[in-house]
C-alpha cells in the first residue's frame, strides 16, 4: 500500500480489496479496470473510501471501505419505510445504462434495487451520495493488505493474470477535503457525491450532491439551502470508456449511523434541488 498507510497488515476478508477481488476471481470474466480509492483524513493515516470495478458486463461496482460490515439495511423514501431487514451489504452496482442501481450481498446472492440516477446532461449522471459519520467509520489502510479468494486450480493462473493486468492500468486516487478553507468548528459529517459518465465528460459543479435531506439518520435536518460548503472534486478513469467524479465535503449536523447512501431525489428530498451557496 502507499506511504501514509498505517503499520501492520489487514488480512480480514471484509477489507474492500479482498471483497472486490473475490467477486472478480470467482466469476473468471475479463474486466477493464480495478481502482482502489483512499481517503486522506489529514491525521497521517489513510482510510479506505472503497474499490471501484468496471465489470465485463459494463456495470460499475463500488465496494465501500467500511470499518465494520453492516448487517442490517434500513431504507426510507419520503419518510416511508422501503427496506428494514437483515442484509450483509457488500457492494453497490450501477447498471450499464447508467439509470438504475442496487445494493448487493457478497457473491450477489441477494440484491435490493430500485434507486435511479439523476441525468446531469453532457453524458454524466449523479449516481448516489455517501455520508459518513466520521473517518473512523472508514477502514484504516494498512501497509500490507492480503486478499483471499477461492478459485479453481485449473484456471487460477489466467484469472490472476487478468486481475494483475486490470490493476496495472488503474488509478488510485487519494480523496480529501478542501484544505484551502478551515474545518467546520461545529458538528459535521463527511459526504461524498459520485458522478459517472463517458470518459472525458465535463466536470460537474452544480448543486446536486445527493445530500441526505430530511433523512431519519440525521440528528437534525439539513438546511434547505447549503451555504459556504467548501468542496473538492477528484477524477478517476475507471476504464477506456467510463470516468468518475468524486466530490468531497463536510455537511452540518451529525449522523446517527456510521454511513448512509442517498439516491438523487430520494429519502424525503424537498421539492427542487438543494442549493450550494
> What pLDDT band is residue 266 in, cutting at 50, 70 and 90?
very low
Q: Please say if the pLDDT value at position 206 is more than 60.
A: yes
Question: C-alpha grid cell for residue 108?
Answer: 450477489
pLDDT of residue 97: 94
Once rounded to an integer, what is the mean pLDDT over residues 222-245? 89
274 pLDDT tier (thresholds 50, 70, 90):
very low
**For the ranges 160-164, 165-169, 213-217, 252-256, which has the lowest average pLDDT?**
165-169
Comparing 8-12, 102-106, 130-134, which segment has the lowest mean pLDDT? 102-106
- Which H or E run contains 21? helix 16-27
Q: 118: domain range?
A: 6-276
What confidence score (pLDDT) does residue 85 get? 74
CA distances from 86 to 75, 91, 256 (A): 12, 15, 18
Q: Is the pLDDT of residue 167 over 80?
A: no
| Residue 9 main-chain phi, psi, to 5 deg | -130, 150
1: in domain = no
CA distance 61 to 52: 6
Residue 109 belongs to a domain: yes
The answer on pLDDT for 180 being more than 80 is: yes
Q: Is the pLDDT of residue 267 over 60?
A: no
- As a whole-number percent, the residues of the chain with pLDDT over 90 amount to 40
d(CA 172, CA 135): 19
Reference 59, options 23, 90, 96; nearest CA is 96
Q: Is residue 140 part of a domain?
A: yes
Share of the chain above pLDDT 70, in %: 90
Q: How confident is the model at residue 189 (pLDDT cuts 50, 70, 90)?
A: very high
User: For position 30, what pLDDT does the model report?
Assistant: 67
Residue 184: inside a domain:
yes
User: In this structure, what are the phi and psi dihedrals at residue 154, rounded to the nearest 5 degrees?
Assistant: -70, -20
pLDDT tens digits for range 59-97: 999 999 999 888 777 777 766 777 777 778 889 999 999
- What's residue 276's pLDDT? 39
Say yes or no to pLDDT of 240 above 80.
Answer: yes
**Number of domains, the chain:** 1
Pick 48 or 69 by higher pLDDT. 48
Asked whether residue 21 is assigned to any structural domain, the reply reads yes
Residue 140: the pLDDT is 94
Q: What is the pLDDT of residue 31?
A: 67
Strands 124-132 and 188-198: antiparallel
Q: pTM here?
A: 0.89
The answer to whether residue 80 is domain-embedded is yes
pLDDT of residue 39: 95
Average pLDDT over the chain reads 84
Angle subtended by helix axes 16-27 and 156-168, to nearest 10? 130
Closest CA relative to residue 195, chosen from 131, 231, 245, 154: 245
Better-scored residue on pLDDT, 45 or 120: 120
Amino acid at each position: 500500500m502507499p506511504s501514509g498507510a498505517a503499520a501492520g497488515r489487514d488480512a480480514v476478508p471484509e477489507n474492500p480489496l479482498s471483497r472486490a477481488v473475490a467477486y472478480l476471481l470467482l466469476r473468471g470474466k475479463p474486466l477493464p479496470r480495478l481502482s482502489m480509492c483512499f481517503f486522506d483524513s489529514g491525521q497521517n493515516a489513510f482510510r479506505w473510501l472503497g474499490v471501484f470495478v468496471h465489470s465485463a458486463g459494463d456495470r460499475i461496482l463500488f465496494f465501500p471501505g467500511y470499518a465494520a460490515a453492516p448487517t442490517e439495511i434500513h431504507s426510507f423514501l419520503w419518510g416511508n419505510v422501503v427496506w428494514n431487514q437483515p442484509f450483509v451489504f457488500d457492494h453497490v452496482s450501477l447498471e450499464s445504462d447508467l439509470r438504475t442501481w442496487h445494493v448487493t450481498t457478497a457473491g450477489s446472492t441477494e440484491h435490493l434495487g430500485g434507486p435511479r440516477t439523476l441525468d446531469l446532461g453532457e453524458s454524466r449522471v449523479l449516481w448516489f451520495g455517501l455520508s459518513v459519520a466520521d473517518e473512523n467509520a472508514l477502514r484504516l489502510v494498512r501497509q500490507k493488505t492480503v486478499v483471499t479468494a477461492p478459485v479453481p486450480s485449473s484456471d487460477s493462473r489466467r484469472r490472476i493474470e487478468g486481475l494483475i493486468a486490470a490493476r496495472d492500468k488503474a488509478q488510485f486516487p487519494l480523496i480529501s477535503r478542501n484544505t484551502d478553507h478551515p474545518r467546520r468548528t461545529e458538528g459535521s459529517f463527511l459526504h461524498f457525491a459520485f458522478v459517472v459518465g463517458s470518459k472525458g465528460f465535463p466536470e460537474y459543479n452544480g448543486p446536486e450532491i445527493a445530500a441526505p435531506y430530511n433523512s431519519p439518520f440525521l440528528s437534525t435536518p439539513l438546511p434547505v439551502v447549503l451555504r459556504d460548503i467548501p468542496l473538492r472534486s477528484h477524477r478517476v478513469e475507471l476504464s477506456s470508456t467510463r470516468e468518475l467524479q468524486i466530490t468531497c465535503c463536510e455537511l452540518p449536523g451529525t449522523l446517527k449511523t456510521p454511513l448512509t447512501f442517498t439516491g438523487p431525489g430520494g429519502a424525503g428530498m424537498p421539492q427542487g434541488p438543494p442549493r450550494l451557496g
